[in-house]
Amino acid sequence: MGGAARLSAPRALVLWAAPLFPAHIGPAPDPEDWWSYKDNLQGNFVPGPPFWGLVNAAWSLCAVGKRQSPVDVELKRVLYDPFLPPLRLSTGGEKLRGTLYNTGRHVSFLPAPRPVVNVSGGPLLYSHRLSELRLLFGARDGAGSEHQINHQGFSAEVQLIHFNQELYGNLSAASRGPNGLAILSLFVNVAGSSNPFLSRLLNRDTITRISYKNDAYFLQDLSLELLFPESFGFITYQGSLSTPPCSETVTWILIDRALNITSLQVTLCIPQPPFPSLSSLAGNSRKLLSQNPPSQIFQSLSGNGRDPRHPERRCRGPNYRLHVDGAPHGR
């Protein structure tokens, strides 16, 4: 980041001059969307994480912020706080439904307006409403999560993004204000068993319906409480969005017990070369998620995360069962 920050203003401005050349004639990119996790898309430069803070003044925190996320948590630097209360999940006793999207950057689940899903407790002083569930994964097992624990990554990371509904009317407003956002993060390993909630999202029938950017598929009758381990502790810290504009308004809660998915489910998301032809997908399904629409060349959606920073001390809470609608969740 330090080297990139010395890029002079004139050189940074050249990035926006591409439409002057015939090979790049077309609509100017929306500044709000002109970013990527990789610096090269379809042979064109699109700013990756080292450049986020340089190409848009509204994203300056990505380069100069002091509480940037994700982080690499060193457990020896974590302070134990026995007074943190348990996390409480409120679903109104209803099953969750919503739309699973391939956004071109993430697999994203957007819940329907009803039922409203809230989380409170832990380090949160307010009730926060669920706005999005986001899945991040890598190109290989053990290297897909944004956050790390003691320099160790995980195969995937599930992020539940909430906004403070007591102080703000929506996610956009909350992302710009103090105590605005809360993101619960769950790590995922590859094992012989599978988390039942993730099984609904990552089965072959579902994933093949969102293979390309902007594909969407409606899901219902989801029990969100099944996403969480039976018992767990958590690590919490004050950080930022891990995507532009990198606003430092996020309370992160990292669940300290990883989930499991099977190797078969992971192959639905993580491509490994050589890529098969479409006719051979039945035998090798590692080419199922693209960051592009079908009219463009296939580019894997994997590797959709920002590299972790190295934080100061964080707090660790005691072990709890998840409380659902005010009662401990049993299995």
Token digits of residue 112: 């329907």
Cα distances (Å, whole numbers) of residue 236 to 75, 121, 217: 12, 12, 33
Tell me which of 37, 101, 168, 237 is the catalytic residue: 168
How would you classify the pairing of strands 314-316 and 78-80? Answer: parallel
Token digits of residue 76: 């020896």
Phi-psi region of 26 (alpha: psi -120 to 50; beta: other; left: phi over 0): left
Kindly report whether the peptide bond that precedes residue 70 is cis, defined as omega within 30 degrees of 0: yes
With a CB cutoff of 8 Å and minimum separation 6, the contacts of 304 are: 37, 105, 106, 136, 137, 291
Beta bridge partner(s), residue 328: 323
Residue 116 identity:
V
CA dihedral angle for residue 266, residue 271, residue 277, residue 280, rounded to 10 degrees: -20
Cβ atoms of 259 and 133 closer than 8 Å: no
Concerning whether 80 is annotated as a catalytic residue, the answer is: no
The residues carrying an active-site annotation are: 168
